[in-house]
Chains A and B, each alone.
Chain A
Amino acid sequence: MSSIITSPSHAAFERTTTRWGSITLFIGFLIATSVPFYLLFVADANVDFGNILKGFLAVFAVYGVFYIVEPLTYFPILGPAGMYQAFMIGNVSNKLLPSAIVAQDTIGAKPGTRKGEYAATMAICGAAIIHVASMVIFVGILGTWLVALIPAPITLVAKLYILPAILGGVTVQLIASLRQVKSTLIALGLAALVILVLIPLVPVLAPGDVAIVVFLTILITWFTRNKKVTDTRSGGDTVGIN
């Protein structure tokens, strides 16, 4: 219905987040990219376009495929609104998605429902505020003082093992929150198979490893779903499958 919307509606939410999400992401991109250009113009550094192109191509060769693969992998999870947040702030798998999972678990909302989407959006906003505060206070203001204070062995351990220390906990909370036994088993089985067997055999697939597991899990979950349960839902809320 295309009535003029002033009352609460999902269409209004989507309009606002799409418009302002993309505008803010674009502004963030402009400001962030202006930093090295400013340095290039004021520094007397003897750098030419060829140096920059070569440097960028070396990075692009490693990460270029992720520009496409990561948005593709996270879109089904984040939805359009969350995309503009996630790809501005970064730290998607170690900070933003864990926050969304914790929030959905806390209020008992499932991903894929509107309530789940709103809970995830609020959670990412909460995470964004903590993110900005921590960067400004501990890196911006106190950083140069802290750098001398924190022992190197602690920094090293935090750097090396932060990701596994987050992922173990988050994955358990996610499984507990969703209570989809079949999807969980499919996801774990495929992850083990792809990451521990397929990738070592076919290393060129490595940049797409997570995407492959996501795609296959969706596919298998979809074709083995209990149609009676999932295809007869009505209204806004969703029935968890199996």
Chain B
Amino acid sequence: MHLASGSADYIGLANAPILWILAMAVMGVVVVQSLIYMTAVKKNAESAGMSQREVRTAFRAGGVAAIGPSLSVVLVAIALLPLFGTPPVIVRVGLIGSAATEVASASLAAGTMGANLGDETFTRGVFIVALMAMSLSGAGWMISTLILTPIFKRSTHKLEKVNPALMSIIPGAALLAAFAALTFREIPKSPTHVIAVIVSAVVMSICLFLAKVLKANWLKEWGLGISLLVGLVAAYFAHYAGLGLPEA
């Protein structure tokens, strides 16, 4: 991806102090939400037969597992900085959505004004329209979650009354199905995608096998980071050996 020259005239505007405050506020809201949720789990864990030690382990495992994915999201976010400015990138990539969704949205919106991401047609006005479209689209997910969650909750409570076994089957089956589908979705994209999936899967199998044989539980926590890294290294070599996408 080729990015805008640093001299785009809206970049000063996009880095305005008030936007920095809003970006930090958004990150603050995420932290506050997590603190409230953590307190709720700690207080009530006992009712599910979960010890405080398990509560802490779950927190740590989740954090450790997120290191690899977070760093790679950071890499992509950094690449977007010259195009959108720092605070908009933090708000857009840091909240609902992903770097890929946001770039696609920006480019779709810019297209309606006859402009392209990152060249001289991407003016101040196009920038604002693109950012507006990305933000309103992100808002679509948030609002529909706010509306749908209570509705889904009521229907699950009804279903649970009909047959309590439902909720013991559905979450596991749904997880398996979602990840099987997401993984298969990568396969038709390019040979390098297939290599990344397979290498990552094999490395994880080795990690989990070693975790069991050596009774090294930390390998379960770090397995994702390790498989992600090795998978990306394999993808790097495959991609530059000409097995990848031409240009994205």
- Across the A-B interface, how many residue pairs have beta carbons closer than 8 Å? 635
- A182, closest chain B residue (CB): B173
In the assembled complex, B72 has its CB within 8 A of some CB on chain A: yes
A102 touches B62 (CB 8 A): yes
B60 touches A238 (CB 8 A): no
A39 to chain B, nearest CB (A): 5
Within 8 A of A (CB), among B1-30: 1, 10, 13-14, 16, 18-19, 22-27, 29-30
B169 touches A241 (CB 8 A): yes
Q: How far is the CA of A230 from the CA of B165 in the complex (A)?
A: 6
B203 touches A16 (CB 8 A): no
A55 touches B183 (CB 8 A): no
Could you name 30 residue pairs across A and B whose Cβ atoms are closer than 8 Å?
Answer: A10-B47, A16-B40, A32-B91, A36-B131, A39-B127, A52-B133, A71-B141, A71-B152, A87-B145, A98-B224, A102-B223, A102-B224, A110-B172, A114-B49, A114-B50, A129-B63, A139-B90, A150-B75, A166-B68, A167-B179, A167-B183, A169-B204, A170-B179, A173-B223, A174-B175, A180-B176, A214-B173, A214-B177, A214-B178, A241-B172
Q: Which of B16, B68, B179, B193 contacts A174 (CB 8 A)?
A: B179
B177 touches A28 (CB 8 A): no
Besides A43-B10, A102-B224, A155-B75, 11 more A-B contacts (Cβ < 8 Å) are A28-B26, A38-B18, A68-B144, A88-B96, A106-B217, A122-B38, A158-B75, A166-B200, A187-B176, A191-B180, A217-B174
Number of interface residues of A (CB under 8 A): 175
- Interface residues as binary, B28-43 with A (CB distance below 8 Å gives 1, 0 otherwise): 0111111111111101
Q: How far is the CA of A37 from the CA of B139 in the complex (A)?
A: 13
- B111, closest chain A residue (CB): A58
B42 to chain A, nearest CB (A): 9
Given A24-B29, A59-B133, CB of A161 within 8 Å of CB of B176: no
In the assembled complex, B116 has its CB within 8 A of some CB on chain A: no
For the residues of B in contact with A, the DSSP-based class is: helix
Q: Which of B35, B66, B176 contacts A127 (CB 8 A)?
A: B66
B140 touches A60 (CB 8 A): yes
Find chain A residues with CB under 8 A from B169 CB: 112, 218, 221-222, 225, 230, 241
B121 to chain A, nearest CB (A): 14
Q: Which of B88, B178, B199, B239 contacts A160 (CB 8 A)?
A: B239
Within 8 A of A (CB), among B186-234: 186-189, 192-194, 196-205, 208, 217, 220-221, 223-224, 227-228, 231-232
Given A88-B142, A144-B86, A164-B200, CB of A190 within 8 Å of CB of B71: no
